[in-house]
Structure 1
């Protein structure tokens, strides 16, 4: 398992558009990607679960990646966060 933390920089937080793009990115991999923030946890492949977390600008999100292609998934998801959030 690999994990990283990321502080959301986007003014609107983790809103619908980037959440949808994140779901698409995560679905490219077999590994499970899980987001945790403010005591809530969600599978990164489920849009409604991500949206229900209510992640705002300045919140720290912990991202865990576990599975057969976790190295590639970890790199892709970390890059996604840096470029989009």
Structure 2
């Protein structure tokens, strides 16, 4: 058996992290935008679309816009970014 496929005992400090990953997988994380976040996002995308140098590069499957969600102890932070590199934090901190 190759070295990369060898099994070893899980250290106690790793067990918690593994358990967290298993729970996350079981919970099937999903994220959504509040109405305020949706409005902020749509407004920024519309404005950005008029000034972006790559606005005509949408593909058949999308890919121009990316949404990044970061979980914090207070709530979720959401940033939308364009393939050109510009991004906007659309988080509605009022709902935290």
Higher relative contact order (CA 8 A, sep 6+): 1
Q: Give the alignment's TM-score, normalised by structure 2.
A: 0.29
Rg larger in structure: 2
Q: Give the structure with the higher percent strand.
A: 1
Q: Give the alignment's TM-score, normalised by structure 1.
A: 0.31
